[in-house]
Amino acid sequence: MNEPMNTKTMPSILMVDDTPANLELLTGMLKERGYSVRAAVSGKLALQAARNEPPDLVLLAINMPGMDGYEVCAELKADEKLKEIPVIFLSALNETMDKVKAFRSGGLDYITKPFQFEEVEARVKIHLELLRQKRQLQENYDELSRLEKLRDTLVHMVIHDLRTPLTVIGGFLELIKDDRQNSLTKKSGHYIIEARNAADQIAQIVSDVLDASKMEGGQMKLKLEDCDLAGAVKDNISALQALAESRVIRFAAPESPVVVLADRDIIFRVIQNLLANALKFTADGGTIQADIAPAGGRMRVSVHDNGPGIAPQYRQRIFDKFAQVELPAGRQKHSTGLGLTFCKLAVEAHGGSIGVDSVEGKGSTFWFELPANGRARSPG
């Protein structure tokens, strides 16, 4: 893309016409209005001038010897460095097909001769302003991308450095937990178990951040094998029973194994994240329902909770990094961290899809689908 226009300098216009009188007239008028104007009497010279010093806008005639205006415009649009330059055609051709051909070649506007200078000036102003805004948007986007990359790098560094002390904390808590009957009261032993669970949750967040980063960068390779989805769901339910407390997790396993080609460890973690997320938003005494069913050549795993539900405007954002979701009835916001982001990246890396269906006040159903017999693609 060209360098952004400097608002402190005159916008540059390239006039292309093989009639010297036309060039002289319009060039003089535009210069009087404060524009920097260059003239070219042929398509070949116009392209050379544009490549040497890209203008901010091109006013282009159609009927010229050698290359006509359509060809010049198409050449400009085929050049990576020049394709964003707005082209306004100036021509005595007034048939509809002439204008259609001009737009198909890449022109943004079409003024029929004889023209009023006020019209030309107005359209030039409009397209220069649109170009300025477009370049500003690109500049803002590039800066936001740079800042996002910097943020992700910093987060990755901090999270990576947390792993070692977390491992140490978890190890000592485990030792204390194993010895709690000999040296701790029942209440203190309960506190140790809660602390250990919290340390495990932090460790899971660390893994989600690092693995989501690897997924985004295409650095996590999938180990494809036959994966029994029903078995993965049952194993996760067993592992999460301690966290369920008074909540119930139900799962009616299919009569026969549901096998897909997938990385079992990664899909296990996807299911784990969805079940843990359901537990987080389900009140004491609530029910979580897990299901597996065919869905048009795919297998769908779904996890339904009877929590507060998710408003429609958040149902896509909830899978974004560090997204926050406003719960109904003015309740506090809950951050989804990177757990659901990891799920989305992992499922899509397997050629599948993920989503959520929800009714505010009546719970949510998170689901993902994997090709029943398809092969995964490499992430990245």
> DSSP characters for 288-304?
EEEEEEE-SSEEEEEEE
Same domain, 108 and 148: no
Contacts of 359 (CB under 8 A, 6+ apart): 309
Give 357-369 pLDDT, tens digit per residue.
Answer: 988 878 899 999 9
Angle between the N-to-C axes of helices 20-32 and 117-178, in degrees from 0 to 180, rounded to the nearest 10? 60
- What is the Cα–Cα distance from 95 to 111, expressed in whole angstroms? 12
Supply the pTM of this predicted model.
Answer: 0.53
Same domain, 303 and 350: yes
Q: pLDDT under 70 in the chain at which residues?
A: 1-8, 180-182, 217-219, 322-338, 373-380
Same domain, 168 and 75: no
Contact 53, 9 (CB under 8 A): no
So what's the pLDDT on residue 323? 64
Same domain, 239 and 359: yes
Instruction: Scan for tokens 């065919």, then name that residue.
Output: 294
Within-domain flag for 123: no
Number of Cβ within a 10 Å radius of residue 181: 9
So what's the pLDDT on residue 365? 93
Same domain, 26 and 101: yes
Same domain, 298 and 351: yes
Same domain, 201 and 230: no
Same domain, 183 and 242: no
Instruction: Scan for tokens 């999460």, then name that residue.
Output: 240
So what's the pLDDT on residue 111? 93
Contact 67, 23 (CB under 8 A): no
Instruction: Scan for tokens 């029973």, then name that residue.
Output: 241
Q: Domain holding 167: CATH number?
A: 1.10.287
CA-to-CA separations, 190 to 167, 170, 195, 204, 205, in angstroms, rounded: 20, 15, 9, 21, 23
Same domain, 310 and 328: yes
So what's the pLDDT on residue 330? 47
Domain of 334, in residue numbers: 225-371
- 94: region left, alpha or beta (phi > 0 left; psi from -120 to 50 alpha): alpha
Give 159-204 pLDDT, tens digit per residue.
Answer: 778 778 888 888 888 888 777 666 777 788 778 878 887 888 788 7
Helix intervals (H) in the chain: 20-32, 43-52, 69-78, 96-104, 117-178, 180-183, 186-216, 229-239, 241-244, 264-281, 339-349
Same domain, 203 and 161: yes
Per the structure, the count of domains in the chain is 3
CA-to-CA separations, 40 to 12, 36, 49, in angstroms, rounded: 13, 14, 8
So what's the pLDDT on residue 176? 81
Within-domain flag for 76: yes
Query: Euclidean distance between the first and final Cα of the chain, in Å?
Result: 25
